[in-house]
Amino acid sequence: MPLKTLCSLFVLLMCSQPVFSQNILVKYLKHTLMDTSPPAKPKFIAYPTLAFAPETNWEVGISGLLVYRAKQDTANRLSELKTFSFVTLAQQYGTVLEHALYTDKNTFFFLGEMRFQNFPITYFGIGPKTVADEHVVVDTREFRFRERILRQIAPSVFTGFELDFQRLSRVNFEWEGNQQILGIPRGSNGSANLSLGWGLLYDNIHNVLNPRHGKYMEVAYLGSNTAWGSTYTFNTLFTDFRFYHPVKERNVLATHIYGQFSDGDVPFNELALMGGERLMRGYYLGRYRDKKMIAGQVEYRMLPVSFAKRWGLSTFAAIGSVFPSIDQYQDAPIRWAAGAGPRFLIFPKKDVYNRLDVAFTSEGMGFYFHIGEAF
């Protein structure tokens, strides 16, 4: 059923049930906006979303968020479990489940995501100098499961096992004459790869959805091999460094430096992808892709602004580049992105904000609506 028809039916139903609709809306807003629960008590919210991003066009969906502290003890870090189901005007749909969970006394930390999506993408080729007008639509079905199982070995220091499984199926490149220009990438017939490895993490952030001070520093190494059934053999080093410095009473200066370095027979869907709603906002996710990527961003957050108790504002800027090898880094153009957006304090007792980001690049712009900061 077309999206326009669904919206019309929804409006008709609401108008035909004014009292019922009003009561439901009042109860929902009271539950969502009037966060009167104690800081340690779990909180759940479900809400509709409407967003626009370069990789999805307009997107409608339903999200759910559960935040809690183990044993309802405020000495434990805030855990969060997010789920999101969506459809887009680019004929994409899927479900995403993300989590960052701490056990009592923060002894164990489970960080990961599970994603299933039927997601036609725009493929621009591989390398730092691909041309926006030269692209092809790729129909794909993707399943991904990534998990980190980390144990605290010293104050704020975690280490443990990591795995990443990605399966790409029903892959169809609609070439339309661009096959010779873009080349047929590795993995164009689909692939299933299980990467295993180990990670080391320093994390002294108390609120994963709105860090106000502290550091997050992760180094992880994962390898995939045909010996245990993967389609390809390759390895990847991930580095992720985030620093949060409080400015005055409520403002935060946040910086983020990310690196991804792969070697071997890497399929096109597991290359480093520039863009998306977390890093290099404003670029289509995968607008640039290659074996290696370095990117960094800085964001100034006013949470809240001085003239409003529940409204905030953030501004951000980022630079980054992809490249095939270390010795070719200097030849890769540096891309930029910048933007700003309002924030709304959705859970006052837990210091969690909704964010709307408007991001600009030399190639266009994007809008992103989510609960919690980008990093």
Domains in the chain: boundaries: 1-34, 114-371
Which are the contacts of 61, defined by CB distance < 8 A and separation ≥ 6? 48, 49, 51, 84, 85, 86, 87
Which are the contacts of 30, defined by CB distance < 8 A and separation ≥ 6? none
In SS3 terms, 227-256 reads as HHCCCCCEEEEEEEEEEEEEECCCEEEEEE
Q: Reply yes or no on domain 114-371 having CATH 2.40.160.50.
A: yes
On the question of pLDDT at 13 being above 60, the answer is: no
- CA 292 to CA 271: how far, in whole Å? 8
When comparing pLDDT for 180 and 61, which is higher? 61
- CA 287 to CA 126: how far, in whole Å? 9
- Which two structure tokens, joined as six digits, stand for 256? 């983020």
pLDDT-derived band at 119 (thresholds 50, 70, 90) equals confident
- The whole-angstrom distance between residue 139's C-alpha and the CA centroid of its chain comes to 21
Residue 80 is inside which H or E element, if any?
strand 78-88
Return phi, psi of residue 334, to 5°: -90, 125
What is the average pLDDT score of the chain?
89
- Which two structure tokens, joined as six digits, stand for 2? 């077309």
Pairing of strands 292-302, 251-264: antiparallel
Average pLDDT over residues 340-369: 92
Closest of 246, 159, 145 to residue 199, by C-alpha: 159
List, in sequence order, the alpha helices (H) in the chain: 3-16, 18-33, 179-182
Which are the contacts of 25, defined by CB distance < 8 A and separation ≥ 6? none
On the question of pLDDT at 256 being above 90, the answer is: yes
3-16 vs 18-33: helix crossing angle, rounded to 10: 100
Average pLDDT over residues 273-298: 96
pLDDT digits (tens, 9 = 90+) for 178-217: 787 888 999 999 999 999 999 999 999 988 889 999 999 9
Average pLDDT over residues 55-81: 90
pTM of the predicted model over 0.95: no
pLDDT, position 176: 77
CB contact at 8 A, 336 and 353: no
In the chain, what percentage of residues exceed pLDDT 90?
72
Average pLDDT over residues 148-170: 97
On the question of pLDDT at 1 being above 50, the answer is: no
Unique residue bearing structure tokens 């370069």: 54
- CA 266 to CA 173: how far, in whole Å? 18
- CA 219 to CA 272: how far, in whole Å? 16
